Amino acid sequence: MTTAIPANARRYGIVDAGFIERLRAFAGERVITATAVLEQHGRDESYHPGHAPDAVIRVASTEEVSATLQLCSQHCIPVVPYGAGTSLEGHIAAVHGGVCIDLSTMDQVLHIRAPDLDASVQPGVSREALNRQLRDTGLFFPIDPGANATLGGMAATRASGTNAVRYGTMRENVLALTVVLPSGNVIRTGTRARKSSSGYDLTRLFVGSEGTLGVITELTVRLYGVPETISAAVVPFADVPGAVQAVIEVMQLGIPVSRIEFLDELMMQAINRYSKRTFPQRPTLFLEFGGMPAAVAEQVAAVRGICAEHGGADFQWASDAAERAQLWDARHKAAYAAMALRPGARNWATDVCVPISRLAECIALAREDAAKAPFPTMVVGHVGDGNFHLPMLVDGDAPAEVVAARALNDQVVRRALAMDGTCSGEHGIGLGKMEFLLAEHGSEAIGVMRAIKHALDPLCIMNPGKMFA
Amino acid sequence: MTTAIPANARRYGIVDAGFIERLRAFAGERVITATAVLEQHGRDESYHPGHAPDAVIRVASTEEVSATLQLCSQHCIPVVPYGAGTSLEGHIAAVHGGVCIDLSTMDQVLHIRAPDLDASVQPGVSREALNRQLRDTGLFFPIDPGANATLGGMAATRASGTNAVRYGTMRENVLALTVVLPSGNVIRTGTRARKSSSGYDLTRLFVGSEGTLGVITELTVRLYGVPETISAAVVPFADVPGAVQAVIEVMQLGIPVSRIEFLDELMMQAINRYSKRTFPQRPTLFLEFGGMPAAVAEQVAAVRGICAEHGGADFQWASDAAERAQLWDARHKAAYAAMALRPGARNWATDVCVPISRLAECIALAREDAAKAPFPTMVVGHVGDGNFHLPMLVDGDAPAEVVAARALNDQVVRRALAMDGTCSGEHGIGLGKMEFLLAEHGSEAIGVMRAIKHALDPLCIMNPGKMFA
């Protein structure tokens, strides 16, 4: 039961048979200690090694989360909230053991309020499930990380995706949260008002807190009308600088594109192979335009002109909704496509975001560095936001590769920080970027974050060992 | 020197001659104790009585703010940050005395980075001053409370204004802050990246913290390209419900208007008189559309159709930039226009924000309640966000009026909360809404806010007596 708790964690209580019985008193068979389940719950989709928790509880309600946290507080047991397990920086590894709170079965869409353009959902609702339920309303929820993550997990990591350039990230699209604090007390942050100057912005504090401050058990999110007209296109470019420069000009001119994604030649090859497509294997932009018909036509004309000036002329249009869905499905599966290029390898994604004027230089230098790496790499990104990934397909059993990957990641991140960018555009800190958190914010700001952590979670039971070293 | 420190504040240190000398050691004549200056710095534009600080220091740099806070921490002296003094809930009243840090002379625009659509400014830069400096760049900063507030003050109160419906509030438009903590330590929150998943969102924590956690000494804000085409119009309606319903439909259809403001008949009368205009004195929308030419034409046609269905047909267009500027100047001066209707009266503004589906009902009931009040009231608001004000022109020397105003404000706020709205859309809590902060968030959430406050400001020297009772 007490698998692999590191020596420095002995200050935590032990999940023993008595403790399991207390959980089972209210959750019965939904408290699980089978090894396979524990291992599956301690490992995300990243290169980080897994750490199994000592128990998994599949919770059914805010009340059960509260009861679990009360017990864990009383016994000083670590708690790791779990959604779909799709995080990319080891967020759910139970490095100090403890209890994994699996929220994936709290998966009800509670209210869709079309006139107010908002919805309230349980945290286990996935982005695809929410959009399926919205299908007949004419509305949609835009935030779309590649994986079909849960909304609770997306809020916890401040996720974004391809639509962020137009619609913002989870930061802009969560109106209110229900959060269970480590004590078991339940709070609601925010209201359904679009804006507010009422008190500290607790919603934004919990969005991106990676399960280190509390457990999100309900979210109210913003919805948007599906645009009257939508056009999507794939545009190959002669070279990478041309494609990136086109993006920079589109953004600087303020053309309200819905999506503007860059993929380099190897990424296109991976997508063609994985999603059975026949796109030109050249540096490419995936574009989407949405709005009223004349506005879309105007945007398309403007972007066509900019692309042509930078060597991107051969627009391939997705003619209908089904074709558009296929196109974006291929883009969303980019990470899986990359991994399929080198079976058995792990995908170390990287995830920097820089001011747009530095993007071309940042990508060019990353590609120069990557050319020397002993493993395949590619570039894919939400370039309209200045955010890109350099997926590294690393053989985790080859120490030289791991060392080289760490060095390359380090180089890419430190360069982004020097450009006044961030070490993580959308994946978060987790286990993987704790040293960069310090490099980015400085020790005084980290001191403020730690003070907040200590104030809200004095026993440090919430997802310990993450974000802060 | 020690003016009117309430009895319950005796735990704070005294601003005596020795303390003043220590401030003067680095700030010289910029430390002021003249009564007129103290009184002017303790009073904002609201109905709240002023409380003069014991000293004002006109700071010149982050270093001076740090030195001031170190001294105040050592001697446990209250600190009130001051920008333009235009707040509306008594935010700057020095209810426990102490030192007012006047940041208005830290008024330099430090960097305008047009390619990145951002600028870094000192906190004393006003919104109008920033936009004057941006004039030749083709860019603008959209957040526009009525008053010509400073950007530091606007961040501290999470301000918004007429453009929020399209561009968001200070919450969405501050990228990074330099903040001096109560200890005197200096942190930077955020980077110039458009999005980030790196650590707790300290930027959003300080935005809206009303000077209770630290002093903002630099801001990096987002800029936007001035749209290629801009059209503005004034549209009178037959009645209030028609005008509000038109707004609701525009928002529900997702038409990306730049501004959509409601003013009732008395508000129009006040504006006509104060700004020497001849608008029809009927319930009215002020509208603005911006974008590429065809997009604007399309938006205008759609909104015209919606307005016509609800009794708003007679569009009066502002034909050029000068006329548009006049139109919005009249709108921005609405609060001053209201006050001019009843010379000597104070403007108790109210400031609720509700989900858009409840807006018509909320405004109608507020007007019903207001009709019984013993003083003039009107309705004006950023209705696209669900935010409106019910300015009450109250004779502060007539106790019956003050009692009635308090009761009416209470009624409007509690109704907004019952509709899952907020007690403050953009003015903040200050002295005026502390009880509503509790009603809105509940004691557990307030406990979290207090825990954060205590963690960052253990001596409680930062703007004490505000936000939390």
> Is residue B451, in this structure, part of any structural domain at all?
no
- List residues bridging with B318 in a β-sheet: B232
Q: Are residues B17 and B38 in the same domain?
A: yes
Domain boundary pick from B78, B102, B126: B102
Q: Which helix (H) or strand (E) holds B361?
A: helix B359-371
Binned at pLDDT 50, 70 and 90, residue A1 comes out as very low
Angular region, B347: left φ>0, alpha ψ -120 to 50, beta rest: beta
Binned at pLDDT 50, 70 and 90, residue B329 comes out as very high
Residue B24, domain CATH: 3.30.43.10
Condensed to tens digits (0 to 9), the pLDDT of residues A295-315 reads 999 999 999 999 999 999 999
Give yes or no for a contact between B71 and B22, defined as CB atoms under 8 angstroms apart: yes
Question: How is B377-439 classified by DSSP, letter by letter?
Answer: B--EEEGGGTEEE--EEE-TT-HHHHHHHHHHHHHHHHHHHHTT-BS-SSS--TTTTHHHHHH
pLDDT given at position B186: 98
List strand residue ranges (DSSP E) for B268-391, in order.
Answer: 284-291, 316-318, 346-348, 352-353, 380-382, 387-389
> Is residue A21, in this structure, part of any structural domain at all?
yes
Q: Are residues A248 and A327 in the same domain?
A: yes
pLDDT given at position B7: 47
Q: Are residues A98 and A192 in the same domain?
A: no
The pTM is what? Answer: 0.96
Domain boundary pick from B336, B355, B373: B336
pLDDT given at position B3: 41
Q: Are residues A277 and A306 in the same domain?
A: yes
Terminal-residue alpha carbon distance, chain B:
26
The answer to whether the Cβ–Cβ distance between B295 and A293 falls below 8 Å is no
The answer to whether the Cβ–Cβ distance between B158 and A197 falls below 8 Å is yes
How large is the average pLDDT for residues B195-212? 98
Q: Are residues B319 and B362 in the same domain?
A: no
The answer to whether the Cβ–Cβ distance between B195 and A171 falls below 8 Å is yes
Q: Are residues A236 and A217 in the same domain?
A: no
Range of the domain at A350: 337-418
CA–CA separation, A133 vs B210, rounded Å? 40
pLDDT given at position B1: 33
> Is residue A382, in this structure, part of any structural domain at all?
yes
How large is the average pLDDT for residues A85-114? 97
Q: Are residues A40 and A68 in the same domain?
A: yes
Does the pLDDT at position A368 exceed 80?
A: yes
Condensed to tens digits (0 to 9), the pLDDT of residues A102-119 reads 999 999 999 999 999 999
pLDDT given at position B238: 96
Q: Are residues A116 and A218 in the same domain?
A: yes
> Is residue B446, in this structure, part of any structural domain at all?
no
Residue with tokens 């080289």: A404
Question: How is A127-170 classified by DSSP, letter by letter?
Answer: HHHHHHHHGGGTEE-----SS--BHHHHHHTT---TTHHHH--H
Residues of B in contact with A254 (CB under 8 A): 117, 224-225, 227
How large is the average pLDDT for residues B114-137? 97
The answer to whether the Cβ–Cβ distance between A195 and B436 falls below 8 Å is no
Measured from the Cβ of residue B63, the count of other Cβ atoms closer than 10 Å reads 14
**CB-nearest partner of A294 from B225, B295, B387:** B295
Q: Are residues A127 and A205 in the same domain?
A: yes
Binned at pLDDT 50, 70 and 90, residue A10 comes out as low
Q: Are residues A193 and A273 in the same domain?
A: no
Residue B265, domain CATH: 3.30.70.2190
Does the pLDDT at position B24 exceed 80?
A: yes
| Angle at alpha carbon of residue B200, lines to B194 and B206, rounded to 5° | 80
Residue B375, domain CATH: 3.30.70.2740
Residue with tokens 């000398």: B21
Residues of B in contact with A437 (CB under 8 A): 198-199
Q: Are residues B357 and B294 in the same domain?
A: no
CA–CA separation, A376 vs A391, rounded Å? 8
3-state secondary structure string across A86-126: CCCCCCCCCCCCCEEEECCCCCCEEEEEHHHCEEEECCCCE
Does the pLDDT at position B10 exceed 80?
A: no
How large is the average pLDDT for residues B373-382? 97
How large is the average pLDDT for residues A432-440? 97
The residue among A87, A179, A185, A194 with the most chain B CBs within 10 A of its CB, best to mutate, is A194
pLDDT given at position B172: 98
From A277's Cα to the closest Cα of chain B, the distance in A is 31
Does the pLDDT at position A2 exceed 50?
A: no
From B247's Cα to the closest Cα of chain A, the distance in A is 12
> Is residue B29, in this structure, part of any structural domain at all?
yes
Mean per-residue pLDDT over chain A, rounded: 96
User: If 0-12 CB within 10 Å is exposed, 13-18 middle and 19+ buried, where does residue B315 land?
Assistant: middle
Helix (H, G, I), strand (E, B) or coil at B354: coil
Give yes or no for a contact between B211 and B463, defined as CB atoms under 8 angstroms apart: yes
> Is residue A463, in this structure, part of any structural domain at all?
no
Give yes or no for a contact between A238 and A311, defined as CB atoms under 8 angstroms apart: yes
> Is residue B115, in this structure, part of any structural domain at all?
yes
Of chain A, the percentage scoring pLDDT greater than 70 comes to 98
CA–CA separation, A108 vs A121, rounded Å? 6
Binned at pLDDT 50, 70 and 90, residue A11 comes out as confident
The number of folded domains in chain A is 4
CA–CA separation, A273 vs A256, rounded Å? 32
Q: Are residues A116 and A209 in the same domain?
A: yes
Condensed to tens digits (0 to 9), the pLDDT of residues B240-299 reads 999 999 999 999 999 999 999 999 999 999 999 999 999 999 999 999 999 999 999 999
pLDDT given at position A124: 98
pLDDT given at position B235: 98
CA–CA separation, B282 vs B264, rounded Å? 6
Maximum CA extent, chain B: 70
From A406's Cα to the closest Cα of chain B, the distance in A is 18
Domain boundary pick from A102, A126, A142: A102
Terminal-residue alpha carbon distance, chain A:
26
The answer to whether the Cβ–Cβ distance between A441 and B115 falls below 8 Å is no
Binned at pLDDT 50, 70 and 90, residue A469 comes out as confident
